[in-house]
Structure 1
């Protein structure tokens, strides 16, 4: 949950000033620092970035970009549905964030091995 919130907030702020692809290195670093398992890191990255992009795309769709999204949706096989483009945008952003967070988590796991647990019983 902490990784999800950090990605959601940090990516939303960073994208105000930086290009769209800033979500990949941001998710990679956050996944490496906070991802416990690969699955958890991927889901947090997918949800955090995907929901951020969904919110921004939906806000733009509602506040004046509907005509542009309709035209872009006509270029893609979406039949001119602007809201379908909003959903596709969220899925693409989610995949970028999820894969980057997963890669960061896996890199940390490869470089820093998990501690070995010592059992309480002593073999006789």
Structure 2
């Protein structure tokens, strides 16, 4: 349940920050959410990837629709892709990895402050 809550918070904050700040602010957003909501590293990585990746995919698709694919058609000529939809998927993957690494870093930074239990004979 905390995974879905973390994913939703990352997605909402990423969308709101993307309106007023640069693209790299999503990394800090994912890191802060993963810092304050505990979980294991894989969980944080996956929630950051999905949260930021989905937002970037929707925003790229929205821009593509609003501009009638003019920019996408020119980008397809520059890069070796066949379709403008591939550009949207690549944007989602790049954004997803940025968010995933941010969330992983935030969660790992939190684990620096957690005192680990000592192993005893009875544990």
Output the TM-score relative to the length of structure 2: 0.87
Matches within 5 A, 1:93-112: 93-112=95-114
| 1:35 Cα deviation from its structure 2 partner | 3.7
| 1:78 Cα deviation from its structure 2 partner | 1.2
Secondary structure of the 1:20 match is: coil
Provide Cα deviations, 1:40-92, integer angstroms capped at 9, x if missing partner: 0001000000000111111111121511112123222214x211100000000
1:64 to 56, 64, 67: 67
Instruction: Please give the root-mean-square deviation of Cα atoms over the aligned residues, in Å.
Output: 1.9
> Hey, what's the Cα distance between the residues in 2 that align with 1:35 and 1:46?
16
Q: Does residue 5 of structure 1 match 2:15?
A: no
Consecutive unaligned residues of structure 1, counting only runs of 5 or more, are: none
**Post-superposition, which runs of at least 4 consecutive aligned residues in structure 1 deviate over 3 A?**
none
Match of 2:91 in 1: 89
Consecutive unaligned residues of structure 2, counting only runs of 5 or more, are: none
Output the TM-score relative to the length of structure 1: 0.86
Q: Does residue 36 of structure 1 match 2:39?
A: yes
